[in-house]
Amino acid sequence: MIVCIAVVGHQNNPLYIQSFTEADDALKLHHIVHCSLDVVDERVNNPKKSGPMLNETFLGLLYPTENYKVYGYLTNTKVKFILVTTDLDVRDADVRNFFRRFHSAYLDAVSNPFHVPGKKITSKTFAERVTNIVKSVSFHTTG
């Protein structure tokens, strides 16, 4: 189950964060997102660690914690998407698919002429779309 999705700007400024869990977990999730940013920076700035995947937008599993898996995605415009899920048996392809759909929704949100780049995304449409994407995605491998 996806518990948190976040968008972070190129100066590590938070642009959007949505949790799909109880309120008191939210703080913990924000912390996880925050920690993951360092991992992203390290991954991207250290070619040796990434190898041939250096310039790919999908960064893969950033780090597992006891209860969560954290995935990252970095756009060409240096915007980071961080996904936190409690599913432990996750296929890369499914996560990629999620990020692709999420990226599409993000694009439309920042194409709003009234959106201010660098500022938080306040679009209700975006929030709804994200909720729908999260609901429609299942990382459980069947069988």
Partner 1 sequence: MAPAVPRSGDAIFANVERVNAELFTLTYGAIVRQLLTDLEEVEEVNKQLDQMGYNIGIRLIDEFLAKSNVTRCVDFRETAEVIAKVGFKMFLGVTASVSNWDTEGTCCSLILEDNPLVDFVELPDTCQGLYYCNILSGVVRGALEMVSMKTEVTWVRDMLRGDDAFELQVKLLKQVPEEYPYKDDE
Partner 2 sequence: MAREVSESCMDSLLTEIVSSYCNVLYATKPELAARRIEAIGYQVGHQLSERYTMERPRFSDHLEAIKFICKDFWSELFKKQIDNLKTNHRGTFVLQDDKFAWLSRMSGEPSTETRGSAPEAGNKAAETTGMHLYFPCGIIRGALSNLGIPCAVSADISNLPACSFVIRIKV
Footprint on this chain of partner 1 (rule: CB under 8 A):
108-109, 111-114, 122-125
Pull the structure tokens for residue 95.
Answer: 């996560």
In angstroms, rounded to a whole number, what is the distance separating the alpha carbons of residues 5 and 46? 25
* DSSP secondary structure, 67-100, as one string: S-EEEEEE-TTS-EEEEEE--SS--HHHHHHHHH
Residues 6+ apart with CB under 8 A from 79: 7, 8, 9, 10, 15, 106
Beta carbon of residue 125, minimum distance to partner 1 (angstroms, whole number): 6
Interacting residues with partner 2 (CB under 8 A):
10, 54-57, 74-78, 103-104, 107, 110-111, 113, 117
142 binds, among partner 2, partner 1, none (CB under 5 to 8 A by kind): none
26 binds, among partner 1, partner 2, none (CB under 5 to 8 A by kind): none
Beta carbon of residue 7, minimum distance to partner 2 (angstroms, whole number): 12
In angstroms, rounded to a whole number, what is the distance separating the alpha carbons of residues 81 and 61? 12
Beta carbon of residue 5, minimum distance to partner 2 (angstroms, whole number): 17
41 binds, among partner 2, partner 1, none (CB under 5 to 8 A by kind): none
